[in-house]
Amino acid sequence: GRTIVPAAPSVRRLAREMQVDIHAVHGTGIAGRISEEDVRRTAGTPSVA
Protein backbone atom coordinates (compact mmCIF):
# COMPACT_ATOMS: atom_id res chain seq x y z
CA GLY A 1 0.00 0.00 0.00
CA ARG A 2 0.91 3.67 0.10
CA THR A 3 3.93 4.39 2.22
CA ILE A 4 4.89 8.06 2.09
CA VAL A 5 3.98 10.08 5.17
CA PRO A 6 3.87 13.71 4.04
CA ALA A 7 5.45 15.34 7.07
CA ALA A 8 8.67 17.35 7.19
CA PRO A 9 11.62 15.73 9.03
CA SER A 10 11.32 18.29 11.85
CA VAL A 11 7.60 17.48 12.26
CA ARG A 12 8.41 13.77 12.39
CA ARG A 13 10.98 14.47 15.09
CA LEU A 14 8.46 16.51 17.05
CA ALA A 15 6.05 13.57 16.88
CA ARG A 16 8.72 11.30 18.36
CA GLU A 17 9.44 13.82 21.12
CA MET A 18 5.73 13.94 21.96
CA GLN A 19 5.43 10.17 21.61
CA VAL A 20 2.88 10.47 18.84
CA ASP A 21 2.72 7.84 16.10
CA ILE A 22 3.08 9.93 12.94
CA HIS A 23 1.05 7.34 11.01
CA ALA A 24 -1.91 8.01 13.33
CA VAL A 25 -1.87 11.77 12.71
CA HIS A 26 -4.50 13.23 10.39
CA GLY A 27 -2.81 15.78 8.14
CA THR A 28 -4.89 18.88 7.50
CA GLY A 29 -2.59 20.46 4.92
CA ILE A 30 -2.48 20.23 1.14
CA ALA A 31 -2.20 16.61 -0.04
CA GLY A 32 -2.77 15.51 3.57
CA ARG A 33 0.46 17.11 4.73
CA ILE A 34 0.98 16.91 8.50
CA SER A 35 1.79 20.14 10.31
CA GLU A 36 3.33 20.76 13.72
CA GLU A 37 -0.16 21.77 14.83
CA ASP A 38 -1.62 18.45 13.65
CA VAL A 39 0.92 16.60 15.80
CA ARG A 40 0.23 18.78 18.86
CA ARG A 41 -3.53 18.31 18.42
CA THR A 42 -3.08 14.53 18.21
CA ALA A 43 -0.87 14.54 21.31
CA GLY A 44 -3.67 16.27 23.19
CA THR A 45 -6.22 13.65 22.19
CA PRO A 46 -6.40 10.95 24.90
CA SER A 47 -7.44 8.20 22.46
CA VAL A 48 -4.16 8.44 20.58
CA ALA A 49 -1.09 7.49 22.60
Partner 1 sequence: MTKSYDFDVLVIGAGPGGYHAAIRAAQLGLKTACAERESVGGVCLNVGCIPTKALLHAGDIRAEARHASDFGLQLAEQRMDIAKLNGWKDGIVKKLTGGVSGLFKANKVTHLIGNASFVDDHTVQVGDKTYTAASIIIATGSEPARLPGLDVDQQGIVDSTGALVMPDPVPARMLCVGGGVIGFEFAHIYNNMGSQVKVIEFLPTIIPGADADAVKAFQKSMEKQGIKVAVQTKANRAEKKQDGIHVELENVKTGEKSVEVFDRVLVAVGRRPRTDGLNPEKAGVTVTERGFVPADSKQRTNVPHIYSIGDVASNPMLAHKAMKEGLVAAEVIAGKPAEQDAVAIPGVVYTNPELAWVGLTEQEAKDKGYEVKIGNFPFAASGRAMTLQQTDGFVKMVVEKDTDLVLGVHIVGPRASDILSEASLALEMGATATDIALTIHAHPTLGEAMLEGAESAHKQAIHIVNR
**At how many degrees (to 10) do helices 9-17 and 36-43 cross?**
20
Question: Does 44 help bind partner 1 (rule: CB under 8 A)?
Answer: no
Output the smallest distance, CB 45 to partner 1, in A: 20
Q: Rounded to an integer, what distance in angstroms lies between the CA atom of residue 49 and that of residue 27?
A: 17
Rule CB under 8 A: choose which of 25, 30, 45, 46 binds partner 1: 30
Of the pair 27, 41, the CB lying nearest partner 1 is at 27
Contact status, residue 21 vs residue 48, Cβ threshold 8 Å: yes
Residues that bind partner 1 (CB under 8 A): 1-9, 12-13, 16-17, 30-34
